[in-house]
Chain A
Amino acid sequence: MKKRIEQKLISIRPEFDFLKSDSFIDEGLLDSFDLITLVSLLDEEFNISIDGIDMTPENFSNISTIELMLKKYMD
């Protein structure tokens, strides 16, 4: 799952190495509209609909927190 998340992140911001950051929003790797794009891509990739309330900086801090949030929708 981590690899699939990373691929989506790179498709939005190819200039960044997402494996080297633990805080995508705070460190400026993703802005609010990147987040919207990412959620849209993840919805499609995993055939889910991420709840708008889950679109928090905490859930999108790094690949692990994104994975943890996504697993909630897989259960």
Chain B
Amino acid sequence: MNLSFKGKKITDIVSVVPENVSRFVDELHQYSFPVEKSLKLKDIMGFNEHRVAPEDVTAADMCEFGFNYLVDSKGLNPASIDALIFISHTPDHFVPPTSSILHGKLGLKEDCLCFDINHGCAGFIVGLQQAFMLLENVGINRVALLNGDTLSRKVSKKDRNSYPVVGDAGSVAIIENSSDTNPINVFTKNRGKDSLVLKIPAGGSRMPSTHETSILKDIGDGNFRSLDNLEMEGASVFAFVQSEVPKMVDEILKTEGLNKDDIDFFVLHQPNRFMLEKLADKIGVSRNKVPNNIVENFGNSNSVTIPINITFNLKNILTSNRSTKLLLAGFGVGLTWSGLVLDINNINTCELIEFKKEIK
């Protein structure tokens, strides 16, 4: 589905990562594989270092920290926020919505809509789409889009295929109406019949967490995982990404009347280095145009990888006067794949900051 909007812009993006860095070489003892075999994957997959939040820090905490940074350092007025969207797989509680908790902590006005959306890898684009739809309504002029996840707690530390690539992070993007009349087309597709190829089996109503679901078991390939952990049919997800994302990129470019050369950067979700290199080759663009260093520096933080990618790699360009054309694309959990082209220049805020716990 393609939805078309006019007069929308991102004014600020802040990404928040925990201070704690966990390094792959220090984790090798956790895995049941020979060290040499694991090290062969280091460069291929981008196993290097990732950010892991302290046990008592949640995704919402990191989003709150980022929002307060905008208030304290950039003059954002909390009373100007008309809607808050929080996108995460790792909410503070099942009840109440984390967006409600954040609404209270951030001191937002009562005339403010709040939404929790359970989404993953495509979550930043899904959130932008929701923000754009909200901004179509009279009375909504500014939306705060908060993405966050603490995936490190949902992946087994004895799963060498997954743990080295996950990271914890949060982000805040402020979305507003603008006078720019260029259309923004948001492409989104869903394939629910394959939704369970990427899942956390236990912890919900279908299979509540118990002592049994927390027991680590050898899944047969040398990795140990429990039913409370994230699991993925890697080959199926890989095939889905390689098959559908290039087609989506072609369709987005066709809709926009653009060529691949017109795009300055393809800012894609960051699952791992290998998959992104293959994706760049399949899309048919230079790997230099596809920033691919988030997993090795921060880890895959689900819907936050795109904001981190933007703030880590493109800050100087996007805060300049030069208009930069970005193709953003998220893909994964759902299975959902979603993307759009954005022209950005003179963005107010494009910052990557480290979370620091407030000492009370």
Instruction: Please give the residue numbers on chain A whose beta carbons come within 8 Å of chain B beta carbons, in ascending order.
Output: 12, 31-33, 36-37, 40, 49, 51-53, 55
B138 at the interface (CB under 8 A from A): no
Q: Total contacts A to B, CB within 8 angstroms?
A: 41
Residue from A32, A36, A49, A51 having most chain B Cβ neighbours under 10 A: A36
Contact of B40 among A12, A51, A52, A53 (CB under 8 A): A12
B residues within 8 Å of A by Cβ? 40-41, 44-45, 161, 221-222, 234-235, 238-239, 241-243, 274-275, 277-279, 281-282
Smallest Cβ-Cβ distance to A35: which chain B residue:
B235
The contact sample of 23 A-B pairs, CB cut-off 8 A, is A12-B40, A31-B222, A32-B161, A32-B234, A32-B235, A33-B41, A36-B41, A37-B41, A37-B44, A40-B44, A40-B274, A49-B278, A51-B242, A51-B281, A51-B282, A52-B238, A52-B242, A52-B275, A52-B278, A52-B279, A52-B282, A53-B282, A55-B239
Please name the 8 residue pairs, one residue from A and one from B, whose CB atoms are nearest each other, closest first.
Answer: A52-B242, A49-B281, A52-B278, A40-B44, A31-B221, A53-B242, A32-B234, A36-B274
CA–CA, A40 and B161, complex, Å: 16
- A53 close to B239 (CB less than 8 A): yes
Most buried by A among B40, B221, B239: B40
Q: Specify which chain B residues have a CB less than 8 angstroms from the CB of A40 in the assembled complex.
A: 44, 274
Complex Cα spacing A33 to B274, Å: 11
B279 CB to closest chain A CB (Å) equals: 7
Supposing A40-B274, A51-B282 touch, asked if A33 and B161 sit within 8 A by C-beta, the answer is yes
B45 near A36: Cβ-Cβ < 8 Å: yes
Q: Is the CB of B239 within 8 A of A37?
A: no
| Chain A residue nearest in CB terms to B239 | A53
- Chain B contacts for A51, CB-based, 8 A: 242, 278, 281-282
Bound complex: CA A53 to CA B244 (Å):
11
With a CB–CB cut-off of 8 A, which chain B residues contact A37?
40-41, 44
